[in-house]
Amino acid sequence: MATIGVIGGSGLYEIQGIKDVKEVEVKTPFGDPSDKLVTGVLEGTPVVFLPRHGQGHRISPTEINNRANIWAMKKLGVQAIISISAVGSLKLQIKPTDFVIPDQFIDRTAPRRHTTFFTDGIVAHVALAEPISEEIADILYEACEELDLTAHKNGTYLNMEGPQFSTKAESNLYRSWGCDIIGMTNLPEAKLAREAEISYATLAAVTDYDCWHHSHGSVTVEMIIEYLAKNVEHAKKILQIAIPKAGKKKKFSAADALKNCIMTDLKLIPDQKKKDLEIIIGKYIK
């Protein structure tokens, strides 16, 4: 069985049905992950879970240590990640409490977010034309169908900077670009997962229309929390179906994503960098 990682977004701090649960503290060369990682087994499939914002939602999007989170997942043997994320809708037909499994991203995050492992003496360029691993996206969509939940397959996730939400002008700009949903967290994860040769897919849970929509001014915090709670309960059920199916996969599309991508002369890579990235580049530098 493959090991499946789950990164939980707003409101999702546990996975139902996991047995043999253990909390694992992982030290990484990039600092501390968002929280302790939780390992366990779901219907025979090894699972690693991490709350993106930490227990109690104490880490803002810009402050998330994505390199540490993905490195820790890799260290614990994760081969594919399902990322749960709360998003706003940029299209009328994508309604609150719907799910979206996007296939594309646009990056509008600030440079201070670290989105690569390859710095300080080593350079690598991975392909990211198709940032989502279709085999995982298909499983998520099929799980939604099985549960009779409204899900939209494919679409573009605009990854904005936070923690503030968009201005109306920004929201309308992103709509003019053809974007479908807007969030603050998933593209840095997708980039780093690809570098770490971990297949990655997003299950985006729509909490509201972004501020372009006429109803935005009448949306209350209580309404958003209510929609979020519904999404979280549905997401837990989706994961119970999707994780065992993903665990049966023999090989994932990102498994060799780094092949021929390291540009630096292997003899010139600093020893410390080789040590820090051993779990990611080890098979290419021996």
3-state secondary structure of 144: helix
SS3 for 141?
A: helix
Task: Give the predicted TM-score (pTM) of the model.
Answer: 0.95
Cα distances (angstroms) measured from residue 255 to each of 80, 189, 201, 203, 285 = 9, 16, 14, 21, 16
Q: What is the CA radius of gyration of the chain?
A: 18
Q: What confidence category does residue 171 fall into, taking pLDDT thresholds of 50, 70 and 90?
A: very high
271 pLDDT more than 60:
yes
179 exposure class (CB count in 10 Å sphere: 0-12, 13-18, 19+):
buried
Question: What is the CA angle 107-130-260, rounded to 5?
Answer: 105
Bridge partner residues of 151 (DSSP):
99
pLDDT tens, position by position, 23-56: 999 999 999 999 999 999 999 999 999 999 998 8
Would you name the residues annotated as active-site residues?
A: 208, 210
Domains and CATH numbers, the chain: 4-285 (3.40.50.1580)
Tokens of residue 12, six digits = 């999702």
Helix intervals (H) in the chain: 66-75, 134-146, 168-176, 186-195, 221-247, 271-276, 278-285
Q: 221: pLDDT confidence band, cut at 50, 70 and 90?
A: low
pLDDT the model gives residue 1: 83
Which pLDDT score is estimated for 85? 92
Give CA–CA dist 217/100, Å, rounded: 23
pLDDT score recorded for residue 168: 92
CA distance 104 to 116: 18
Q: Which segments of the chain are extended strands (E)? A: 4-8, 19-24, 37-42, 45-51, 80-89, 99-101, 104-108, 151-153, 156-160, 181-183, 199-209
Q: Name the DSSP letter for residue 255.
A: T
- Secondary structure (3-state) at 240: helix
pLDDT band (50, 70, 90) for residue 111: confident
